Amino acid sequence: MKFVAVTSCPTGIAHTYMAAEALEQAATAAGHEIAVETQGSAGSAPLGGDDIAAADAVVFAADVDVRDRERFADKPQVTAGVKAAINDAAALIEQATAAARSAAATPAESSLEAPAETEAEPAGAPESASSAAEPENAVEARTGAGTRVRQWLMTGVSYMIPFVAAGGILIAIAFLIGGAEIAAVVDGGDFRGVHYDGISDPADLLGEAGIAGVLFKVGSTAFDMLVPVLSGFIAFGMADRPGIAPGIVGGLLASAIGAGFLGGLVSGLLAGFVVMGLKRIRVPRGVAGVMPVVVIPLVACFVVGLLMLVVVGEPIAAAQSGMTDWLAGLSGGTAWLLGGLLGLMMAFDTGGPVNKVAYTFGIAALASGDTVIMAAVMAAGMTPPLGLALATVVRRRLFTRAERDAGKAAWLLGLSFITEGAIPFAAADPLRVIPSLMAGSATTGALVVAFGATSPAPHGGIWVLGLVGSPLLYLVAVAAGMVVTCGCLVAAKSFLGRRERPARQDAQAGAPEHGLIGAQQG
């Protein structure tokens, strides 16, 4: 058979491409052909019309919205998250095969059911316009409610992360060049007993604050967009392009009233639901053309703005303030508990939803000026691949050759703060690997907070070490977590049902590598 697939994850860095590779390998192993479109941060060429037309079924392995999903409206579809594709791509290929055979056996029934995948027309459009349909939601409508909400939220996070990376690193470089007082110099305020009036005219920025001031201003402007972008693209994930304007407006209002990230989440969901409701209204043909461009954004912006300012905004702002005060109270002997908890979350699903919650929390802390939490999150995210890589060196015979090869790549992935480098190990042996990863990352997170190390950069790992405060202690915390991960995993594999097969395979002198890999794949 011939299949097409689309893979997409919130960050678009690792899971997207790992899922694509797993699907390609599984399809080839099953004797099928597959073409995969990776909607990741690096971008990719869209699938050709001929590929889609010739496909027997479509596989969506995505945790966020699939762009231009209507291209596949008449094809049998299998929908799953990217981790399902990474962990068990063969099962998805089997499901796609079954879906294709079922559709071929009952073509009439399939053709009647196919339009149910998408909303057949924009709001108010006549029946004849259904051929130009847009999907009702950017997230597949037939998934469970919990999955849909998670996908909507991850869509917002996905579009927010480039602002985080660009803004955070620019601010970090500004601090490195101009010192910690550069924020007070640009925005005004007190620093170490000196009062700064700030720079109100952007034309004077370079002359009065230098290149460091320019870097800080650009980076802080990017950070100011975090909540609006998060809110706008949550609404986009729910209701496509008509949701962007009311979502961003709601996010701007959330920032203005102090509701922060929590307010951005709520405003995005509100905007999405309001637009989804407006799109269902039937209007005359003459009005239908202006509905998505004028009427829907206009009404939705007003409704969302009214709700944020009058109804939900102030309670959310109070909750956000209370949470911030509670976190600020975690100091001295208790702050390390927060670092340990974030470390556990970073390692629990190695780049999945729980990991993203912890990372988003670190970003929120960074946006409020707390660089210690961001340092703990980044260090804890570096630890899992590094600890696994160390384990493959310390006790080689406990791992297959394929795992040892993955361990070599894990060194670079871990140093670069790509937690997904641990996925091949966690997928193969979750009961022993995941608890070991959590122990190591919790150790690292707790130590970073206890040491008071800081990171104004939200990503980069070892490559932004020059921006990290107390870099030696930061590295000590990462090294300690590596050792804990390695020790726990070696002990678990040695004493809790040791895997003898890899050792026997490696003991066979001259055993061909393809045989080992084939045995591991089996």
CA 206 distance to own-chain centroid: 35
Say if residues 1 and 33 touch (Cβ distance below 8 Å): yes
9 in active site: yes
Say if residues 462 and 379 touch (Cβ distance below 8 Å): no
Cα–Cα dist 219/238, whole Å? 29
Mean pLDDT along residues 155-177: 78
Mean pLDDT along residues 17-26: 88
Whether 502 shows a pLDDT value over 60: the answer reads no
CA 374 distance to own-chain centroid: 16
Q: How far is CA 434 from CA 91, 210, 394, 453, in A?
A: 22, 48, 19, 26
DSSP conformational letter for 204: G
Mean pLDDT along residues 185-211: 82
Encoded tokens for 233? 């693209």
Identify the pLDDT of residue 118: 35
In 242-284 the beta strands, taken as DSSP E runs, fall at: none
Q: How far is CA 178 from CA 173, 212, 460, 465, 469, in A?
A: 8, 5, 21, 17, 15
CA neighbor of 279 nearest in space, from 262, 300, 265, 257: 300
Catalytic-labelled residue, pool 9, 301, 486, 488 = 9
Identify the pLDDT of residue 191: 66
CA 127 distance to own-chain centroid: 38
Cα–Cα dist 395/223, whole Å? 44
136: helix, coil or strand?
Answer: coil
The pLDDT confidence band at residue 325, using thresholds 50, 70 and 90, is low
The pLDDT confidence band at residue 143, using thresholds 50, 70 and 90, is low
Identify the pLDDT of residue 15: 75
Cα–Cα dist 404/70, whole Å? 42
190: helix, coil or strand?
Answer: strand
Q: What percent of the chain has pLDDT over 90?
A: 25
Cα–Cα dist 354/176, whole Å? 32
The full set of domain ranges for the chain reads: 2-103, 179-312, 334-496
Identify the pLDDT of residue 444: 94
Pairwise pLDDT comparison (315 vs 180), residue with the higher score:
315
Cα–Cα dist 402/400, whole Å? 5
Whether 417 shows a pLDDT value over 60: the answer reads yes
Superfamily of domain 2-103 in the CATH hierarchy: Response regulator (3.40.50.2300)
CA neighbor of 78 nearest in space, from 107, 101, 45, 44: 101
Least confident span in 14-18, 129-133, 157-161, 419-423: 129-133
CA neighbor of 381 nearest in space, from 262, 226, 485, 230: 485
Identify the pLDDT of residue 32: 93
Mean pLDDT along residues 418-444: 85
DSSP conformational letter for 70: G
Cα–Cα dist 214/140, whole Å? 42
The pLDDT confidence band at residue 397, using thresholds 50, 70 and 90, is confident
Whether 131 shows a pLDDT value over 50: the answer reads no
Least confident span in 37-41, 274-278, 294-298: 37-41
Whether 125 shows a pLDDT value over 70: the answer reads no
The pLDDT confidence band at residue 440, using thresholds 50, 70 and 90, is very high
Identify the pLDDT of residue 490: 92
CA neighbor of 339 nearest in space, from 430, 455, 492: 455
